[in-house]
Amino acid sequence: MKILHVAWLDNNKSNGVSVVVPNHIKYQSALVQVALLNTSNISLDIPEEEINYPIFSLGDCPQGNIGLLPSPFNDPDIVIFHGVYFYYYYKTMGFLLNMKIPYIVIPHGSLTSFAQEKKKWKKKIGNILVFNKFINNSRCIQFLTQEEKISSNWEGESFICGNGMSSRTCIVDKKKNSDFFHFTYIGRLALFQKGLDILLEACYSISDEMRGKKIKLNIYGPDDQGDKKKVLHLIEKYKIQDIVCLSNPVYGKEKEKILQNSDVFVLTSRFEGQPLSVIEALLMGIPVLLTPGTNIANEVVSNNCGWCAELSVKDVADKILEIFNLKKQIAQYSLNASKYAEKNYSWEEIAKKTVSGYKKLLR
């Protein structure tokens, strides 16, 4: 079987798609022939020992004509598009239809109702002119979670298989170096998408309780379209600098150390595909506080790995205090989290599931 992945990738470690796609390909390549067409023309910082597959650029495939790619990927069995809103994908679709090559679209959250509200009119026009045709001509849509599928209102053929995470990052025995109870957010400072406005107002509404109980919120992440200034403004406006700490982004070993010293990871997103930060926290034995928009909250709650709050100031605030009052149970939630994540999010298992799903579609 020959699989060609098409994606716009860069070296931004906060770009979830750029993190997961190379791993999908790496682990699938142990099972079938796989290649990557990177439409960004950016040279990827992937260690040579991890590149066991061909990587093509736009120069290898002008105007989306995959028939010009080197053999055997000039005639793949199936093409996997990561994301939706790239005109190059639409041009590539034309060649695939002429060549009778099926393709799958993995929207990575971009078809959810909340995501469609972002740049709403631009997307409406784009959908009518181009992208509805691109979506509707696909063999199926691959959603990362059941919740993402429901929120996307897709009635056509689909299957569900998410992302993975390397289990080698798992750290279960956490040693606390603080008397404070730490909630931690690590991710882009995208105020609206990540629901940071709701989270900060929730902290303000219970600021006296947080001070009395020594609860702190630590936020780490890169700026996102100027939203860092807005986050800082809200922290200053609410006068919660003593209980909310905003820091620079962290990666690698530094990120692991931050998570290791956290009690609960928090993500109050309005919409996501499947948040890698949550999977990473679970693997390290960090229980999580999520909102429905993360598309993984139901799994977490049903497996006793964390809690779900509705996307409202009151409910998020109430959950923060509820979790603090359950802090004696954190150790058990931590154990549940690491066991669940190791069982369900290993890249090897994800690769087997996706390749099996693609083969079934081709029968």
CA distance 106 to 255: 28
Query: 317: Cβ–Cβ under 8 A, 6 or more apart, which residues?
Result: 202, 203, 205, 206
- Which residue in 357, 198, 183, 187 sits closest to 276, CA to CA? 187
pLDDT class of 108 with cuts at 50, 70, 90: very high
Is pLDDT at 326 greater than 90 in this prediction? Answer: yes
- Spell out the domain ranges in the chain: 2-164+346-362, 167-344
Query: Is it true that domain 2-164+346-362 has CATH number 3.40.50.2000?
Result: yes
CA distance 193 to 114: 8
Question: What is the mean predicted confidence (pLDDT) over 310-329?
Answer: 96
pLDDT class of 13 with cuts at 50, 70, 90: confident
The angle, 0 to 180 degrees and rounded to 10, between the axes of the packed helices 16-28 and 347-362 is 70
Q: In Å, how far are 21, 268, 325 from 24, measured between CA atoms?
A: 5, 26, 40
Condensed to tens digits (0 to 9), the pLDDT of residues 60-71 reads 999 999 999 999
For residue 178, what are its two tokens? 């603080």
Query: 34: Cβ–Cβ under 8 A, 6 or more apart, which residues?
Result: 2, 3, 4, 5, 25, 28, 53
Is pLDDT at 160 greater than 50 in this prediction? Answer: yes
pLDDT at 273: 83
CA distance 360 to 363: 5
Strand partners, 37: 6, 56
pLDDT at 344: 87
CA distance 262 to 264: 6
Question: What is the mean predicted confidence (pLDDT) over 237-262?
Answer: 95
pLDDT at 112: 92
Total residue length of the chain: 363
Homologous superfamily of domain range 167-344: Glycogen Phosphorylase B; (3.40.50.2000)
Condensed to tens digits (0 to 9), the pLDDT of residues 139-152 reads 999 999 888 999 89
- Which residue in 298, 268, 272, 279 sits closest to 151, CA to CA? 272
Strand partners, 201: none
Mean pLDDT for all residues in the chain:
93
Q: What percent of the chain has pLDDT over 90?
A: 84
Is pLDDT at 234 greater than 60 in this prediction? Answer: yes
pLDDT at 355: 96
Condensed to tens digits (0 to 9), the pLDDT of residues 300-314 reads 999 999 999 999 999
pLDDT at 172: 47
Condensed to tens digits (0 to 9), the pLDDT of residues 264-294 reads 999 999 988 888 899 999 999 999 999 999 9
As a three-state string, the secondary structure of the chain is CEEEEEECCCCCCCCHHHHHHHHHHHHHCCCCEEEEEECCCCCCCCCHHHCCCCEECHHHCHHHCHHHCCCCCCCCCEEEEECCCCHHHHHHHHHHHHHCCCEEEECCCCCCHHHHHCCHHHHHHHHHHHHHHHHHCCCEEEECCHHHHHHHCCCCCEEECCCCCCHHHCCCCCCCCCCCEEEEEECCECCCCCCHHHHHHHHHHCHHHHHHHCEEEEEECCECCCHHHHHHHHHHHHCCCCCEEEECCCCHHHHHHHHHCCCEEEECCCCCCCCHHHHHHHHCCCCEEECHHHCCHHHHHHCCCEEECCCCHHHHHHHHHHHHHCHHHHHHHHHHHHHHHHHHCCHHHHHHHHHHHHHHHHC
For residue 281, what are its two tokens? 């926290």
Question: What is the mean predicted confidence (pLDDT) over 21-36?
Answer: 96
Condensed to tens digits (0 to 9), the pLDDT of residues 164-222 reads 887 654 454 554 556 899 999 999 999 999 999 999 999 999 999 999 999 999 999 99
pLDDT class of 78 with cuts at 50, 70, 90: very high
Query: 363: Cβ–Cβ under 8 A, 6 or more apart, which residues?
Result: none
Q: Is 160 left (phi over 0), alpha (psi -120 to 50) or beta?
A: beta
Note whether 2-164+346-362 and 167-344 share their fold. yes
Q: Which is more confident, 232 or 343?
A: 232
pLDDT at 48: 85
